[in-house]
Amino acid sequence: MNIVVCVKQVPDTNEVRIDPVKGTLIREGVPSIMNPDDKAGLEAALRIKDKTGAKVSVITMGPLQAEEILREALAMGADDVYLVTDRAFGGADTWATSSTLAGAISKLDYDLIITGRQAIDGDTAQVGPETAEHLDLPNISYAQEIEVDGDEVVVLRQYDDRSHRVRAKLPVLVTALSELNKPRYMTPGGIFDAYREKEVVQWVREDIPVEDENIGLSGSPTRVSKSFPKAVKEPGMKIEEGVEESVQFIVDKLKETYIL
């Protein structure tokens, strides 16, 4: 069985601070990490590998420094990794990204494709499902549990107020939630192998079977008409008193602001 996992390198938003004046993200000196939903997807794939001996391939599209998360994937136990990188792919929206990824994945053998639900820097949640469409595959999103049962996959899919257990015949694309699992740590030896013995396969424009009109900035139909910072919400106040005192406190505050 072959599993392909798509991952993305993102700024660690836990470390991102907000410029209090401009209201924009301060990205300087912020470490890059593997997107949490993607990492959970990789862990799910590795658990299937632990059980069944499946082969796990990991793919990312990004600049050269995205290689780091592929080395991390190797150190966690992935079998081989692919970096899709070319200036021609730069500035891609979700359509161009999914077109490019689908082209790259079409070169690999796959029974199951796992992507994260969404990346913490863009929050679109579109690339996974769009990739499935390009590859003409069924798609199950928001996976809380993923299990392989023979030639089928059984997924617990999260909805707002309920969950669905969905069974589908492979091949299929599943998008994973970070709540799916607690990803394993790399091993020290895995890290050494990742750098000293394994290879990050680089694929450039010519290597990917995808039309020019569907890649990069020019192949991106999305236009951002305006970009503006969200108002930064002041942190709330926590009152740790008894019920009586807390209620009194709130009433006083409401009176102070003439709401009462």
Partner 1 sequence: MDFKLKQEHLMAQKLFRDFAVNEVEPIAQEIDENHRFPEETLEKMQKNGFLGIPFAKEFGGQGCDTLTYVLAIEEISKVCATTGVILSAHTSLGAAPINDLGTPEQKEKFLRPLISGEKLGAFGLTEPEAGTDAAGQQTTAKLDGDEYVLNGSKIFITNAGPADTYIVFAMTDKSQGTRGISAFIVEKGTPGFETGHKEMKMGIRGSATRELVFTDCRIPKENLLGREGRGFGIAMGTLDGGRIGIAAQALGIAQGALDKSIAYVKERKQFGRPIANFQNTQFTLATMATEVESARMLVYKAAVAKDTQRRYSYEAAMAKLKASEVASFVTNRAVQLHGGYGYIQDYDVERMMRDAKITEIYEGTSEVMRMVISGTILN
Binding site for partner 1 (CB under 8 A): 68, 71-72, 75, 184-196
**Shortest gap between Cβ of 147 and partner 1 (angstroms)?**
22
**Shortest gap between Cβ of 189 and partner 1 (angstroms)?**
3
**Shortest gap between Cβ of 226 and partner 1 (angstroms)?**
38
Q: How many Å apart are CA 102 and CA 132, to the nearest integer?
A: 8
Q: How many Å apart are CA 172 and CA 154, to the nearest integer?
A: 11
Pick the closer one to partner 1 by CB: 154 or 191: 191
Please answer whether residues 216 and 89 qualify as being in contact, where contact means their C-beta atoms are separated by less than 8 angstroms: yes
> What separation in angstroms does the CA of 252 have from each of 185, 240, 244, 256, 260?
50, 16, 12, 6, 9
Q: E-assigned strands of 87-219?
A: 112-116, 139-149, 152-158, 163-169, 172-176, 200-203
Pick the closer one to partner 1 by CB: 185 or 228: 185
**Shortest gap between Cβ of 6 and partner 1 (angstroms)?**
21
**Shortest gap between Cβ of 12 and partner 1 (angstroms)?**
12
3-state secondary structure of 1: coil
Helix (H), strand (E) at residue 60: strand 55-61
Pick the closer one to partner 1 by CB: 111 or 193: 193
Pick the closer one to partner 1 by CB: 195 or 249: 195
Angle at 181 (CA atoms; ends 177, 184), nearest 5 degrees:
125
Pick the closer one to partner 1 by CB: 32 or 220: 32
Pick the closer one to partner 1 by CB: 69 or 92: 69
Burial classification of residue 4, based on how many CB atoms lie within 10 Å of its CB (0-12 exposed, 13-18 middle, 19 or more buried): buried
Please answer whether residues 62 and 83 qualify as being in contact, where contact means their C-beta atoms are separated by less than 8 angstroms: yes
Q: How many Å apart are CA 124 and CA 98, to the nearest integer?
A: 12
**Shortest gap between Cβ of 39 and partner 1 (angstroms)?**
12
